[in-house]
């Protein structure tokens, strides 16, 4: 009997049981005997020179065990991409929330009391909060960067001026997107334990522990081998706990090393909003040339983004904004100029989609405007220009699998696009769509390589362990990995145990970002499982006196293919193999490096950065209340080409969660600052969607195996919220005839726009 494949099955998350019963240990749950509690003193000034720090009173407070300032540290600059920050401020603070000093005490209250006793004398410096002002002549210099520019991007491919001349219409407009928080429910928290000889162990809910360890070793100025990071269960990440290590972690380490005791630091939500790394806002001026038949002739972008006080992952984020969405369509000519600029606000970072939602919002909105200008259905315009299989985009992305056009057609059919579009204006109902593209891993993020390694260990007792350094953060990576191992070794998924991520035991891995884990991590797991199978079969073959190639798995046994001979039990073979080898387990090793056709882009931002690209279409149906400006999303359709979906239950979960985050981005979320100070840094004033805000979401997977990913899988994690805002913006236009160009599209903005625009 043919064994039923576990690939493509709706298999429940393997860690759901411990989470449903309250047994799962998150970062916030880690507690050690004798553990101290740390608190960070943060700058109240957006920009100031530090003249003096006096910690004497704090040190004398009973219960205080350690106080640290920059003088207790090696003062080595670090950053995810550009080394421009210290874990504790040296000489200067650059935003409200910048870390100045820290205390570890017997309890949180004492620590809080102690940081209030630290005297800091500041000399306020001139401040600048908007990127445009920061670039102007005479603006205060935040670092040494000319015009405060962190990253400048400029490229032209094809001949843009000529492209615009060939167009029948040229449209140009400016779109602004907001700074939003990942709003994972578990705040940043860590516990660091020193061992007394200079080694430390750090427990935290991180997305990229090995990358985090590299940065931590740099900051502490110790070899990486002295640092062990143990990943706990992660209470949400969405990019916010990835490659940019918040200063909280090294500060906790400094306190632990100085006190000689375990120390815990937990961010408050006020600190989360003012001093963690949220999504880059962007102002994008976009110009599009289009022919009467719908063909795009040229596109030009001018991007201005606020980086905040430190670079963080900003340079790569703005690089994504400058290029990614362009590869959705066959643009013959493109030009782009982008500036990412330092200001005295909270530094930005990465959030699901990196810089991609920002450009999607402007481009997919302008495409609808252009379609109206030429009198064509925007569906037809998208179909006409959509990139296809085997094509190479203007930025060099190679489409080895691509079903964007099928997604467009499917989305239109499922949503009733043709029947509904343009019919609801009398009652304020509308429908809108937007396309999407994203990567499955990005070669440009880590300079040295992209790829992954996994071990599959068949133990002497017959149990199978999977060991990977890629991070489960709730998305279901470990479940997908277990499915892959179970599939290759012919065992039940319950028989695969995924070992916790620990930098002392797991293989080096880049971690969870750039939608890379299922595709690249999964590929390594597949190779490791195949390697283990080969070794197991090789041993079994000697016992059974057959060729290894003639063996197969059947019901927990290994037997000769097609034979009625029962063969040997899987567990028995594992045991005997171990006995024959001094107790060694069968160790399958799978190492995978992306093919050489996947490259770091050149200076003109040209290059095939990922082995596989995912596509899709979202369609939103909305109702707009003309009296209140309130938008209700009535229905939502999300159609995806993410290759073969290894687990549709988890896949739908990614889509539904992403769409709802996208609805928050589109309609309600924004961190608001006044003179650099966050004024809505709590969940009363910063609203995220609740169960009452969400529409029914229909997910469709247009499945075609990708030639590269494991069992044909491609990335799905981030793309799901990439086009949500423009789909809703386009639906609002269809409903009431006003074009919103600034996120979030709040009732106030909609009312203001309605006032200006007579009912059409």
Residues of this chain that interact with another protein (CB under 8 A) are 10, 12-13, 15-17, 19-26, 28-29, 182-187, 233-238, 268-269, 473-476, 649-650, 652-653, 655-661, 682-684, 688-692, 694, 696-697
Residue 455's H or E segment, with its range, is strand 451-458
The pairing of strands 189-194 and 99-105 is unpaired
For the CB of residue 267, give the shortest distance to another protein in the complex, in Å. Answer: 11
| Distance, CA of 382 to CA of 376 (rounded, Å) | 10
* Burial class of residue 1 in the structure, from the number of CB atoms within 10 Å of its CB (0-12 exposed, 13-18 middle, 19+ buried): exposed
- Which of 634/649 has CB closer to another protein? 649
Question: Residue 268 CB, nearest distance to another protein (Å)?
Answer: 7
Least separation in angstroms between residue 6's CB and another protein is 16
Least Å from the CB of residue 347 to another protein? 22
Q: What is the 8-class DSSP label of residue 143? A: S
Nearer to another protein, 109 or 293 (CB): 109
**Please, what is the minimum distance in Å from the beta carbon of residue 41 to another protein?**
20
- Residue 61: other Cβ atoms inside 10 A: 16
Indicate the residue among 277 and 382 with the shorter CB distance to another protein.
Answer: 277
Min dist CB 266 to another protein, Å, is 8
Residue 197 or 690: the one with the smaller Cβ distance to another protein is: 690
- Contact at 8 Å (CB) between 9 and 486? no
Cβ-contact 738, 754 below 8 angstroms: yes
Nearer to another protein, 184 or 417 (CB): 184
Instruction: Quote the least distance from Cβ 271 to another protein, whole Å.
Output: 12
**Which phi and psi (to 5°) does residue 597 adopt?**
-70, -10
**Min CB(256)–another protein separation in Å:** 20
Q: Would you say 359 or 727 has its CB closer to another protein? A: 727
Distance of CA 18 to the CA centre of its chain: 25
Task: Report the C-alpha gap between 322 and 605 in whole angstroms.
Answer: 9
Based on CB atoms, which residue is closest to another protein, 684 or 748? 684
Per-residue tokens: 588: 């399958």
**Residue 172: exposure state from Cβ atoms within 10 A (0-12, 13-18, ≥19):** middle
Strands (DSSP E) contained in 625-709 are: 631-641, 673-674, 677-678, 697-701
Residue 298: CB minimum distance to another protein, A: 37
Shortest distance, position 137 Cβ to another protein, whole Å: 43
**Cβ 731 vs Cβ 745: under 8 Å:** no
Among residues 271 and 283, whose Cβ is nearest to another protein?
271
Q: What is the DSSP letter of 501?
A: P
Q: Which is nearer to another protein, 537 or 665 (CB)?
A: 665
Please name the residue ranges forming H helices in 500-567. 522-544
Task: Please say which residue, 14 or 750, places its beta carbon nearer to another protein.
Answer: 14
Query: Among 659, 722, 723, 719, which residue's Cα sits nearest to residue 693?
Result: 659
DSSP 8-state secondary structure symbol assigned to residue 139: P
Shortest Å distance, C-beta 727 to another protein: 15
Could you identify the residue written with the tokens 């594992």? Answer: 574
Closest CA to 734 of 378, 383, 409, 408: 378
Integer Cα distance of 404 and 423 in angstroms: 26
Residue 647 dihedral angles phi and psi, to the nearest 5°: -145, 95
Residues β-bridged to residue 157: 334
Nearest approach, Cβ of residue 69 and another protein (Å): 27
d(C-alpha 422, C-alpha 375), whole Å: 12
User: For every residue of 59-71, which 3-state class applies, written as one string?
Assistant: HHCCCEEEEECHH
- Beta-bridge partner residues of 587: 457
Q: How far is the CB of 28 from another protein (least distance, A)?
A: 6
Distance of closest approach, residue 187 Cβ to another protein, in angstroms: 8
Looking at beta carbons only, is 123 or 270 nearer to another protein?
270
Q: How far is the C-alpha of 275 from the C-alpha of 295, rounded, in Å? A: 45
381/480 with CB nearer another protein: 480
Taking the complex as a whole, how short is the minimal distance between the CB of residue 636 and another protein, in angstroms? 10
**Minimum CB–partner distance for residue 654 and another protein (Å):** 9
Q: Is there a contact between 731 and 739 (Cβ–Cβ < 8 Å)?
A: no
Closest approach of another protein to the CB of residue 705, in Å: 23
- Give the nearer residue to another protein in terms of CB position, either 28 or 727: 28
Helices (H) and strands (E) in the chain, counts: 19, 30
436 and 328 Cβ atoms separated by less than 8 Å: yes
C-beta closer to another protein: residue 570 or 636: 636
Residue 29 or 172 having the CB closest to another protein: 29
Q: CB under 8 Å to 363, separation ≥6 — which residues?
A: 286, 288, 299, 325, 326, 328, 726
Q: Which is nearer to another protein, 3 or 23 (CB)?
A: 23
What DSSP state is assigned to residue 325?
Answer: G
Between strands 99-105 and 36-42, the pairing is antiparallel
Say which residues have a Cβ less than 8 Å from residue 414's Cβ, sequence separation at least 6: 619, 637, 639, 698, 700
Among candidate residues 624, 636, 644, 618, the one with its CA nearest the CA of residue 706: 644
Of 14 and 114, which CB lies nearer to another protein in the complex structure? 14
Distance CA 438, CA 454 (A): 25
313 closest CA partner among 226, 241, 407 = 241
Q: Which two tokens stand for residue 246?
A: 């918040």
């Amino acid at each position: 009997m043919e064994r039923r494949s576990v690939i493509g099955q709706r298999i429940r998350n393997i860690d759901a049981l411990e989470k449903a019963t309250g047994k799962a240990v998150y970062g916030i749950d880690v507690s050690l005997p004798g553990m101290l509690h740390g608190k960070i003193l943060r700058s109240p000034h957006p920009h100031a020179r530090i003249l003096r720090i006096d910690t004497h009173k704090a040190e004398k407070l009973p219960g205080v065990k350690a106080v640290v300032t920059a003088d207790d540290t090696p003062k080595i600059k670090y950053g995810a991409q550009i080394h421009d920050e210290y874990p504790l401020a040296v000489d200067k603070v650059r935003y409200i929330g910048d870390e100045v000093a820290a205390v570890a005490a017997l309890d949180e209250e004492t620590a809080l009391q102690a940081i209030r006793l630290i005297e800091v004398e500041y000399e306020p410096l001139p401040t600048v909060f908007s990127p445009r002002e920061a670039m102007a002549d005479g603006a205060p210099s935040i670092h040494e960067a000319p015009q405060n520019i962190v990253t400048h991007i400029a490229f032209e491919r094809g001949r843009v001026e000529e492209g615009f001349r060939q167009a029948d219409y040229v449209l140009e407009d400016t779109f602004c997107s907001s700074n939003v928080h990942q709003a994972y429910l578990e705040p940043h928290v860590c516990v660091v334990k020193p061992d007394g000889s200079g080694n430390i162990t750090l427990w935290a809910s991180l997305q990229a522990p090995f990358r985090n360890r590299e940065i931590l070793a740099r900051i502490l100025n110790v070899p990486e081998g002295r640092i062990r990071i143990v990943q706990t269960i992660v209470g949400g990440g969405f990019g916010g706990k990835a490659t940019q290590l918040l200063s909280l972690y090294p500060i906790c380490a400094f306190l632990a090393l100085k006190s000689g005791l375990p120390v815990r630091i937990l961010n408050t939500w006020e600190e989360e909003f003012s001093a963690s790394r949220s999504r880059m806002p962007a102002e994008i001026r976009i110009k599009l040339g289009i022919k009467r038949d719908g063909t795009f002739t040229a596109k030009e972008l001018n991007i201005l983004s606020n980086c905040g006080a430190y670079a963080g992952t900003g340079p790569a984020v703005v690089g994504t904004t400058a290029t990614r969405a362009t590869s959705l369509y066959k643009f013959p000519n493109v030009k782009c100029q982008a500036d990412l600029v330092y200001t005295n606000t909270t530094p930005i970072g990465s959030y699901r989609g990196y810089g991609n939602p920002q450009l999607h919002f402007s481009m997919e909105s302008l495409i609808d405007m252009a379609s109206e200008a030429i009198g064509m259905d925007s569906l037809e315009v998208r179909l006409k220009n959509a990139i296809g299989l085997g094509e190479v985009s203007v930025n060099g992305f190679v489409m080895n699998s691509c079903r964007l056009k099928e997604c467009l057609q499917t989305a239109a059919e499922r949503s009733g696009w043709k029947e509904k579009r343009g019919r609801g204006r009398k009652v304020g109902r509308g429908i809108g769509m937007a396309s999407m593209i994203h990567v499955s891993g990005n070669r440009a993020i880590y300079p040295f390589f992209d790829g992954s390694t996994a071990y599959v260990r068949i133990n002497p007792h017959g149990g199978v362990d999977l060991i990977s350094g890629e991070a489960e953060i709730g998305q279901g990576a470990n479940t997908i990995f277990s499915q892959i191992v179970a599939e290759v070794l012919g065992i039940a998924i319950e028989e695969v145990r995924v070992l916790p991520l620990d930098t002392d035991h797991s293989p080096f891995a880049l971690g969870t970002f750039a939608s890379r884990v299922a595709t690249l991590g999964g590929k390594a797991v597949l190779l490791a499982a195949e390697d283990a199978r080969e070794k197991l079969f090789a041993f079994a073959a000697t016992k059974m006196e057959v060729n290894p190639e003639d063996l197969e798995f059947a019901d927990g046994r290994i037997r000769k293919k097609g034979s009625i001979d029962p063969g040997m039990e899987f567990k028995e073979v594992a045991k005997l193999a171990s006995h024959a080898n001094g107790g060694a387990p069968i160790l399958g090793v799978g190492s995978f490096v992306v093919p050489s056709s996947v490259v770091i882009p050149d200076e003109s931002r040209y290059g095939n950065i990922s082995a596989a690209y995912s596509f899709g279409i979202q369609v939103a149906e909305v109702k707009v209340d003309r009296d209140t400006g309130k938008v209700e999303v009535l229905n939502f359709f999300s159609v995806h080409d993410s290759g073969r979906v290894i687990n549709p239950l988890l896949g739908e979960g990614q889509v539904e969660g992403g769409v709802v985050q996208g609805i928050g981005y589109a309609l309600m979320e924004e961190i608001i600052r006044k003179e650099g100070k966050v004024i809505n840094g709590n969940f009363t004033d910063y609203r995220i969607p609740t169960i009452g805000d969400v529409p029914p979401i229909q997910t469709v997977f247009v499945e075609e195996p990708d030639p590269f990913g494991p069992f044909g899988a491609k990335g799905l994690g981030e793309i799901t919220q990439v086009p949500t805002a423009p789909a809703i913006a386009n639906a609002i236009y269809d409903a009431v005839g006003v074009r919103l160009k600034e996120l979030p599209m709040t009732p106030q903005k909609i009312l203001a726009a309605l006032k200006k625009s007579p009912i059409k």
